[in-house]
Amino acid sequence: MNIFVQCGIGVAAVVGAAVTFLTFERPPIETVQRGFRGTAQELVYTTRAVDRIAARNVVPEADPPVDPIGQKSSEVYENVQVLGDLDAGQFIRLMAAITAWVSPEQGCNYCHNPENLASDEVYTKVVTRRMLQMTKAINTNWKPHVQETGVTCYTCHRGQPIPAYVWSTEPGRSSSMLASSAGQNVVSSAAGLTSLPYDPFTAFFRDALPIRVAGTTPHGPDNRASIKQTEWTYGLMMHFSQATGANCTFCHNTQNFANWNDAPPQRHSAWHGIRMVREINNTYIEPLTPLWAANRNGPPERGSATMSRLGPHGDALKVNCASCHQGAHKPLLGAPMLSNYPELNAVSSQLPRSASMTPR
């Protein structure tokens, strides 16, 4: 045999092996049947991926409940605007918990001037009032999504002042050859490392563009379901799958992606989740932007990482499905952390005094 042919076979074998081992996960795998037999509504898991997800979702032990001391925190403390109805003992239990959830390394001083705990001079304390109200809104207004499991600060923060999974508007890229890349052809982890549009989040999690590929009307001027729109939808769907650690059949009957009637209940849950994420971003996070603009690198001299609090366009770091889910079908694999912290549902929904919302 000709030496070149042998070489060719050798190269082909190496390439073949690389494709096989890099493209597919090694066994063992498990398949779970989730729909009627014959509908191919199956989920495929690799046991290793399941183990990785379990290791990342260990829940910290809850502090033991404290006996009420019989006085409201508004009677004991000077400047409580959203936690005034809490018993003063439960108030301190909550302070300890949020420290462990958000700034365990930096401690109480991440939000406080230790000389004067009533002062609002550290902006993170002002941010926290709205984070408390946001957490309560998620747990009370968005039960169709979070059910009784609910969320705490830890669901997103996991012991870090800035949650690990956040997004901001990506700067548009264009070249001299192409007028606009239509937000595309830049490999982006947001879109599952494909060349689908690299920022599906601004369109769907700040704005509310329709998430569609199939038109609901025959061809005509009203049919907005273009190929471009389809690609944006798929970019978002890649994110859904990555964030929840599940494939498309977790939420769809692949016989007809658009059909709601045969879709598993998870698709309905996701529908509410999309609307919840928009409210989190537009009602709670965006309006705090001036505070972060004035403190781009976090509180001064409090040992925080110098990661920027704003994206390249100057917008705040916002929430997507991964902020809570972090690769699990339910955040923290469904651990009901909220049930140990009823204090989080006693937060007042009244806006904190506007004077304290402006940066100093």
Name which of residues 329 to 348 contact ligand HEC (CB under 6 A): 329-331, 334
Q: What residues numbered 225-254 form the site for ligand HEC, per CB under 6 A?
A: 233, 237-238, 240-241, 244, 246, 248, 250-252
Check binding of 190 to ligand HEC (CB under 6 A): no
Q: State in angstroms the smallest separation of the CB of 244 from ligand HEC.
A: 5
Give which of 150, 160, 178 is closest to 101, Cα–Cα: 160
Q: What is the rounded CA–CA span in Å between residue 188 and residue 236?
A: 12
Which region, judged by CB under 6 A, interacts with ligand HEC, from 12-20, 21-29, 118-126, 178-186? 118-126
Amino acid at 274: I
Q: Decide: is 324 part of the binding site for ligand HEC (CB under 6 A).
A: yes
Residue 130 in contact with ligand HEC, rule: CB under 6 A? no
Nearer to ligand HEC, 77 or 185 (CB): 77
Whether the CB-CB separation of 173 and 186 falls below 8 Å is answered with yes
Cα–Cα distance measured from residue 214 to residue 192, given in angstroms and rounded to the nearest whole number: 22
Residue 73: half-sphere exposure toward Cβ, Cα within 13 Å: 22
First to last CA, the chain: 80
Draw the binding track, 50-89, toward ligand HEC (x: CB under 6 A; -: no contact): ---------------------------xxxxxxx------
Distance in angstroms (rounded) separating the CA atoms of residues 41 and 259: 14
Say whether residue 257 binds ligand HEC (CB under 6 A).
yes
Residue selected from 41, 156, 206, 341 as contacting ligand HEC according to rule CB under 6 A:
156
Which residues, including other chains, have CB under 8 Å from residue 212's CB and lie 6 or more apart? 224, 225, 229, 233, 258
Q: Which residue number, 93 or 181, has a Cβ lying nearer to ligand HEC?
A: 93
Selected from 43, 137, 274, 357, the binder of ligand HEC by CB under 6 A is 274
Q: Distance between alpha carbon 156 and the CA centroid of its chain, in Å?
A: 7
